[in-house]
Amino acid sequence: MTYDEWHIVSLAPWGRVGQAAAILCACAIVFFAWRALRHDERASRRWILLALRLGAVTASLVLFFEPAVRLQNVTRLPNHVAVLVDGSESMRLKENPKQPSRAERAAAWLRAERNTFAQLGREHVIDFYSYGDKLEPTTPEAITAAPPTRGDATRLREALAALRGRYEGRDLGGVIVVSDGVDNGRLGNAAGAAGALDADSTDFLKSLDAPVHGAWVGKPGLTDVAIARVLADDFAFVRTAVTIEAVVRVVGRGPGWDGKTLPVILRRDGVPIKVAEVTVEPGRTEYRVAFSFTPERVGKYLYEIATPLLDGEAIAENNARAFLLKVIRDKIRVLQVTGRPAWDVRYLRGQLKHDPNVDLVAFFILRTPTDIELVPSDELSLIPFPTEELFQEQLRSFDLVFLQNFNYGPYGIGAYLGEIKRYVEEGGGLAMIGGDLSFTSGGWAGTPVADVLPVDLVPDGPPEKLVDLQPFKLQLTPAGVAHPLMALKLDVAQNRARWNELPELEGTNLVARARPGSTVLGVHPTRKDSDGRPLPVLTVGEAGKGRVLALTSDDSWRWGFADKAGDDRGRAYQRFWDSAIRWLIRDPALSFLRIETDQPEYARGQRVQVTVRALGTDYQPLAGAKLDVTVSRIPTVLDISSTARLEPVSAQHGVTDEDGELIFELPPPAPGGYRITARATLAGRPVEEDEVFLVRGAGRELEEPEARDDILRAVAAVTGGSMRGPGESLEGLTFWPPRVVRVNQHRDVEVWSRWWMLLVAAGCLGLNWALRRRWGYA
């Protein structure tokens, strides 16, 4: 048997404590011997005695530790070499349409290096992996045949960290990274100019304790225009200007690109709203454009910034970038127009003015064009009524309009009544409040505004046919008791009792009837409408996308007083109008249908879970509601046949469960924006709600798609690896030799058990004693 290695080992049964005690004892003996001899002026005698004492102690330690020479016959186990092949999306790119892609060049390179890998396999175990946004094991056959290009990102540092975890406790001899050098993980983000790595990345790479070799498959010559980044917040405020910036990257130059003007288009739900221009300049790669606009409506919208596809571009997907923008209210913008000062006007204006969530614009009519003026108009402090500015230019900037005891006739508003109707149908809120200048008494019968009111107006006639001045107490209908607008108390019985305690209203406008589809919340206790039903006093309804409220009395301010001492004075009036405003502006918290997705944005290949919730009039989960849900794709600039119309891709029909929910999954949709629309008939009224989600297309891989080798070179330099260019041989790459061995057989040759070792110890001690006596030390 031949032995390959030898080691010195101790065969003594003593533990670490015993060994340490023996060493301390030996040191103490030598120290005290030196201390006893340090004053002897005869140096030769002193050193002879000290040498004998040291020899005796050394021989004793050898006997104590029982040392032996261990001879071993060993076999070295091969260590591992990991080959990481970039499987991210940038690897599918072609610098030239007539040339192979980066992934195809990588596959051809690995096929050409089969002999090199076979030679490495004699000393190492070769493991193949694909990496992009995550590390996945693969096979040589899969890598060399058709390397996958599915990863939405390239994260080399994260892949190396996962690799280190896989080889924890095993011998890793080195790594080969086959990549185009694009990196948008922690390593790429931390890399500075020319691929310089920061201290944290350098420390991480050194901790791998293995050489990392780079095999670069990139080439120069890529030509591309990309929307590289979009700088936008997740939300914006309605009617508040917002600025969105985009970075346009121009890589390489196609035919006729220099000097060309590129339009950059901002779209909302597929409809262009802004256009900017970029002029391509020689030597410049990045251009920044800004879009400023003012969202007019609350909701979630899909925005897209895009440039047209140019001749010679390598990538089409990165010419557009979509994002979601949620538009919320900073404040509720309210327009209050009143015919004359009154207590009802004062109370409502006071509540709106002191509400921090309301931005109020109020106009009081204090003089009319027919008033007698004793001085010139330009000397009066009262301004003329701004008819055109309010009802044409600024109308759509308001969430809600109050027409409170206001007759439009004397102020030239008749030409703009159609604008008010369209404002409501497009989603605005409108509240008409009674008085002797309101409803039919204000001349509103037969106007476009009357078309959107939730009540039919009586024809014009004498005052006694238009108003009733007798006091009465408002009676809630069954629908009114459960409606959130009337919820002064959460409990239904307590809510009805609270309304019964409120003061009477002194008079009401007379109307013909409630319109079909509207909801009567409160009625007159004795008066009847034209159909013989209780006269509607408080009625709500919907017109197009907007909501309308009709209160035929101008005495709701009396609800700010209490009939009984100790009641919450003023709270009923405040709560009523708070709830009315929230309902009129379609506060999402008051919607009967609610749609949720498990996340707002998805990566490609992810399934989408949709939950639709139905609520009853009491805002409790509604079981058994029939729902029709449509999922439509919002067209983008890359859709050649795009006509800015939603394209249905899925339809679901179902019934809500006992929790009032309908839950379903969509198979992984194609990249783009999608709008979910749910429809139902709840409490006899059609209800509709929608939601938007986004499936990401081109990710960070295609923001900066040009190949780069500087990061791979820096990684190789830090770890002691080498760099190879496209097609260069991988021969000569260095890897750590195997460090894990298997012991086949061993034999111990004892040193301490020799007879002469005991003789040395005894001889040194005896000679030391004899010389000490002869020289007078003992």
The model's pLDDT over 100-142, given as tens digits with 9 standing for 90+, comes to 888 989 999 999 999 999 998 888 889 999 998 889 999 888 8
* 189: pLDDT strictly greater than 90: no
Q: Which of 632, 706, 629 is nearest to 661 (CA)?
A: 629
Least confident of 336-340, 362-366, 639-643: 639-643
Helix (H, G, I), strand (E, B) or coil at 711: helix
The pLDDT value given to residue 565: 44
The pLDDT value given to residue 75: 62
The pLDDT value given to residue 547: 92
The single-letter DSSP state of residue 15 is: -
CB count within 10 Å of CB 373 equals 10
Average pLDDT over residues 394-401: 87
Higher pLDDT, 509 or 190: 509
The pLDDT value given to residue 719: 93
The tokens of 561 are what?
């007083």
Class of domain 590-697: mainly beta
The pLDDT value given to residue 368: 56
Least confident of 15-19, 282-286, 440-444, 732-736: 15-19
The tokens of 148 are what?
């996958």
Average pLDDT over residues 493-513: 88
Least confident of 204-218, 377-391, 603-617: 377-391
Q: What percentage of residues in the chain have a pLDDT greater than 70?
A: 88
The pLDDT value given to residue 759: 78
The pLDDT value given to residue 68: 77
* 520: pLDDT strictly greater than 60: yes
* 243: pLDDT strictly greater than 50: yes
pTM for the model stands at: 0.67
The CATH number assigned to the domain with range 332-584 reads 3.40.50.880
The pLDDT value given to residue 566: 47
Q: What is the pLDDT of residues 521-536, one digit of tens each?
A: 999 999 999 999 999 9
> Any idea where the domains of the chain sit in the sequence?
5-75+744-774, 79-220+707-739, 224-329, 332-584, 590-697
Least confident of 250-259, 715-724, 750-759: 750-759
- The confidence band for 228, taking pLDDT boundaries of 50, 70 and 90, is confident
Higher pLDDT, 297 or 599: 599
- The confidence band for 317, taking pLDDT boundaries of 50, 70 and 90, is confident
* 743: pLDDT strictly greater than 80: no
Average pLDDT over residues 395-419: 87
The pLDDT value given to residue 595: 92
Please determine, looking at this structure, whether the domain spanning 224-329 carries the CATH number 1.10.3720.10. no
Burial of 735 (0-12, 13-18, 19+ CB in 10 A): buried
Strands (E), 635-671: 647-655, 661-666
* 376: pLDDT strictly greater than 80: no
The pLDDT value given to residue 597: 92
Handedness of CA 391, 394, 397, 398 (dihedral sign): negative
* 640: pLDDT strictly greater than 50: no
Average pLDDT over residues 190-208: 80
Higher pLDDT, 314 or 273: 273
Average pLDDT over residues 605-616: 90
CB count within 10 Å of CB 610 equals 21
Distances (CA, A) of 544 to 75, 338, 688: 85, 25, 11
The pLDDT value given to residue 1: 54
* 9: pLDDT strictly greater than 90: no
Higher pLDDT, 136 or 776: 136
Alpha helices in 473-544 (DSSP H): 478-482, 492-501
Question: Does the fold of domain 332-584 match that of domain 79-220+707-739?
Answer: yes
Distance (Å, whole) CA 444 – CA 420: 12
Distance (Å, whole) CA 68 – CA 7: 8
Distance (Å, whole) CA 452 – CA 253: 58
Q: Which amino acid is at 69?
A: V
Q: Fold for domain 79-220+707-739?
A: Rossmann fold (3.40.50)
The pLDDT value given to residue 777: 67
Contact 431, 583 (CB under 8 A): no
Residue holding tokens 């614009």? 361
- The confidence band for 191, taking pLDDT boundaries of 50, 70 and 90, is low
The pLDDT value given to residue 67: 79
Q: What percentage of residues in the chain have a pLDDT greater than 90?
A: 30
Mean pLDDT estimate for the chain: 83
Distance (Å, whole) CA 217 – CA 723: 11
Q: What is the pLDDT of residues 694-712, one digit of tens each?
A: 998 766 777 778 888 889 9
Phi-psi region of 339 (alpha: psi -120 to 50; beta: other; left: phi over 0): alpha
The pLDDT value given to residue 381: 46
